[in-house]
Structure 1
Amino acid sequence: MTSNIILFVAAYLLGSIPSGVWIGRIFFHKDIRKYGSGNTGTTNTFRVLGQKAGISVFVIDLLKGTLATCLPYIFGSSINPLWFGLAAILGHTFPIFASFKGGKAVATSGGLLLGYNPAFFFFSLALYLIILYITSTVSLTSMLSAIIITLSTLILPYIAPGILPAHDWLLTLIALGLTIFICLRHKENVGRIKSGTESTIGFGRKKKKQARVK
């Protein structure tokens, strides 16, 4: 019992590592929370600090979710690894090391999938990149991907058992909860998407169309 509590605390603390804040302060002498959207995650890091910093933050945020999910495998706990990944996501979103103001949970949620089911993670990553190519909008892609990934937990056991061999109802419930949470965290983005003022990235079909128009 005590060892499991320690592992849950460790998972939360792993998730609480505010990579965007620390990288901004150490290498750029900037507090990323004072620039752009004020978010500490990957997207705002790309916009404020550049590509190298953005990639670094993405990798760290992904891997801290993966490592947290793998804790019960490493230390022999019988508790479902998904709960530890969820603790890391909670830490990422409400980090004790950054005044409980964190990211929007997308990369760390991906890390949970990587630690729990690598095949399903790479399926989800491919899905994310396809939607990003179509929309050129990170926020919209994150929300749409979360919705489709949740539906995929129900469909894939029938059409692609090599990815999900059986229905995993805990995975579905957690995916559904994270989808709702991610959409709520993107509430301001939804408003900008509706008004046509949401930022886009220099990748995808939409950007190619804009370049041809110019």
Structure 2
Amino acid sequence: MPATEYGAAILGAVAVLGYLLGSIPFGVLVTRIMGLGDLRKIGSGNIGATNVLRTGNKAAAVATLLLDGGKGAVAVLVAGALFGPNAAQLAGGAAFIGHLYPVWLRFQGGKGVATFLGTLLALGWPVGIAACLVWLATAVVTRISSLSALVAAAAAVPLALVLGQRELMPLVTVMALLIFWRHRGNIMRLAHGTEPRIGGKK
């Protein structure tokens, strides 16, 4: 098989496997295993950690946060170790898309924040840590998860530039734009002052 075809086949497999890993709806699985009901019928119906927290079970929310972040990080680390940095970015991006549009849930997924941060930490830990700190600082001040996510996503692109990881900027830009797209309802509620705060009921 020609080298170019072999490379395309490998990258195709990396993308598919990354997507399938990202598609695992850990929030739905964790809440079901812990007897908390169907997450899609609780609060906002979102499958992420913030909505899991609305069940009142902090352990389930932490588990969801770590697992959703971990699937992005695992996709990046495995692909990078086997096939190099380009494959790592492809796998991370595919895992992120998988979380947003999971095949297992008829492409109705989460908003991708934890997977975004996990992917960043694995691709370039300085950028990932800085974005996490931006999220945390915004959350402490405002107690609004969606606003924290939007600020962290917007900050990640210039952070990649400032911290000398320009090679990440195209992927980070695409992921940040998708986070804004998935948060368009939250943006409307933020504008009207009706967005719920962390730990509150929706």
TM-score by length of structure 1 reads 0.83
Give me the whole-angstrom Cα distance separating, in 2, the residues matched to 1:76 and 1:144: 32
Are 2:93 and 1:79 aligned? no
Aligned amino acid, residue 193 of structure 1? L
**By how many angstroms is 1:29 displaced?**
4.9
Aligned residues: 193
Are 2:182 and 1:185 aligned? yes
Give me the whole-angstrom Cα distance separating, in 2, the residues matched to 1:121 and 1:152: 9
Change (3 A) 1:179 1:12: same
Are 2:193 and 1:196 aligned? yes
**What RMSD over aligned residues (CA atoms) do the two structures have, in Å?**
1.8
Residue 23 of structure 1 is aligned with which of 23, 30, 47? 30
Give me the whole-angstrom Cα distance separating, in 2, the residues matched to 1:4 and 1:179: 23
**By how many angstroms is 1:202 displaced?**
5.6
Residue 208 of structure 1 corresponds to none
Aligned amino acid, residue 53 of structure 2? F
**By how many angstroms is 1:49 displaced?**
4.9
Are 2:48 and 1:51 aligned? no
TM-score by length of structure 2 reads 0.88
**By how many angstroms is 1:80 displaced?**
4.0
Give me the whole-angstrom Cα distance separating, in 2, the residues matched to 1:6 and 1:177: 21
Residue 140 of structure 1 corresponds to 147
**By how many angstroms is 1:187 displaced?**
1.2
Deviates more, 1:186-195 or 1:57-66: 186-195
Deviates more, 1:191-200 or 1:52-61: 191-200
Give me the whole-angstrom Cα distance separating, in 1, the residues matched to 2:43 and 2:189: 14
Could you tell me whether the CA contact under 8 Å between 1:128 and 1:142 is conserved in 2? Answer: yes
Change (3 A) 1:94 1:78: same
Residue 90 of structure 1 corresponds to 97
Change (3 A) 1:167 1:58: closer
**By how many angstroms is 1:89 displaced?**
0.4
Give me the whole-angstrom Cα distance separating, in 2, the residues matched to 1:193 and 1:53: 26
Unaligned ranges ≥5, structure 1: 157-163, 204-214
Residue 169 of structure 2 corresponds to 172
Give me the whole-angstrom Cα distance separating, in 1, the residues matched to 2:182 and 2:119: 18
The CA deviation string for residues 114-146 of structure 1, in whole angstroms up to 9 with x for no partner, is 111122211221121111111110001110111
Give me the whole-angstrom Cα distance separating, in 2, the residues matched to 1:13 and 1:40: 16
Could you tell me whether the CA contact under 8 Å between 1:24 and 1:49 is conserved in 2? Answer: no
Residue 69 of structure 2 corresponds to 62
Could you tell me whether the CA contact under 8 Å between 2:54 and 2:199 is conserved in 1? Answer: no
Residue 19 of structure 2 corresponds to 12
Give me the whole-angstrom Cα distance separating, in 2, the residues matched to 1:100 and 1:152: 31
Matched-pair identity in %: 32
SS in 2 for 1:173: helix
Question: Structure 1 runs of 4+ off > 6 angstroms?
Answer: none
